[in-house]
Structure 1
Amino acid sequence: MPGRSRSAVVAGVLIGAVLPALYEAAVGAMVRHNARRLAEGDLEPQLRSYADDVRFIFPGRSSWAGEFRGKRAVEKWLQRFVDAGLRIEFDDVLVSGPPWATRVCLRFHDIAEDERGETVYENEGVIYGHVRWGKLTRYMVFEDTQRGEEFDPYLAERGI
């Protein structure tokens, strides 16, 4: 190791190993925090994590489907999510890449219950997204879209 001390090399290796793990933990904590706040009806933490020009894609033919561009368009979708009584929990949060080009993959399950506490909707899937400097720029949901279509009549009866 000409020109470098052994301690400098060890420090470099430790920083290279520790910083990505800390970044992954921070992103995971933020995702879970935002999901808890969303379940409480508070959209603001989630909206703060979006770039102004965020692009959100929800495939399928249900009333949830579409491509939403911009923070305000996604906000309307999220408000409907809250109004429908949906709660999302993340089973796994995978983070890869540096802060300026981060990819996230979130394994989730979501559920809605009626006023008696009976499950009226349940699904699971994956959200894949891109984050740049702490702001979500693009994401797409992959889940059983047929379940979303089956949930639509229940929502329509309630004006949601």
Structure 2
Amino acid sequence: MYHAIVRRKVRALWRTVGSGAGGYREAVALAAPDVHFRFIGDTPMSADLRGREAFAAWFERFEETFPGLHLTLQDVAVQGPPWNTTVATRLHVRGTLADGSPYENEVMQWVRLRWGHMVEDIVLEDTLRLDRAYRRQAAARARA
């Protein structure tokens, strides 16, 4: 029963977060004050951060860099007790870049919860595809 409740909450959260336009604030509100967030890779969006404020700042930067991207939850798996719950998600990213080109990517996320608070969030995305999109966004901004 507990896992079904968590899955339902994760699906609802990603409907909000994935729509953009500041929806990430709900995820930040669920984060523990010392949340550890890692966006794996070697791109300008990569991060290894601690704390709710740094987590929120990363999302703000992401939305500023990639306005209008939508993340759609494809699958969610939950295991563990309430004091050490693991949530794994598979997401699809879709949108249009500033130069008009389409962007699509796949994301895997690994989250650890303690009593309903996110204590760790690890995100893996195709970083080559993301880096190319980041460079296109930067070039479009430079032309504007």
Fold shared, TM-score > 0.5 on shorter chain:
yes
**Residue matched to 1:70:** 51
Displacement of 1:40 after TM fit? 4.5
Say whether the 8 Å CA contact 1:111–1:119 is kept in structure 2.
Answer: no
Counterpart Cα distance in 1 of 2:96 and 2:5 = 30
Q: Conserved in 1, the CA contact under 8 Å of 2:74 and 2:92?
A: yes
Is there any run of 5+ residues in structure 2 with no aligned partner, and where? none
Amino acid in structure 1 at the alignment position of 2:60: Q
C-alpha RMSD of matched pairs (Å): 2.0
| Amino acid of the structure 2 residue aligned with 1:144 | D
TM-score w.r.t. structure 1 length?
Answer: 0.76
Give CA-to-partner distance per residue, 1:74-132, whole Å, 9 cap, x none.
1011122333122111111100001001011101111122479x653211131011100
CA distance in 2, matches of 1:33, 1:119: 29
Out of 108, 117, 131, the residue aligned to residue 91 of structure 2 is 108
Note closer, same or farther for the CA distance 1:158–1:23 as it changes in structure 2 (3 Å cut): farther
**Residue 133 (structure 1) aligned with residue 115 (structure 2):** yes
- Number of aligned residue pairs: 137
Do residues 50 (structure 1) and 20 (structure 2) align? no
Partner of 1:30: 9
CA 1:107/1:32 → structure 2, altered by over 3 Å: closer, same or farther? same
Gaps of 5+ in 1: 1-21
- Larger Rg over CA atoms: 1
Counterpart of 1:93, as a letter, is V
- When residues 73 and 89 of structure 1 are mapped into structure 2, their CA distance, relative to the original with a 3 A threshold, is same
TM-score by length of 2: 0.84
Identity fraction in percent: 33
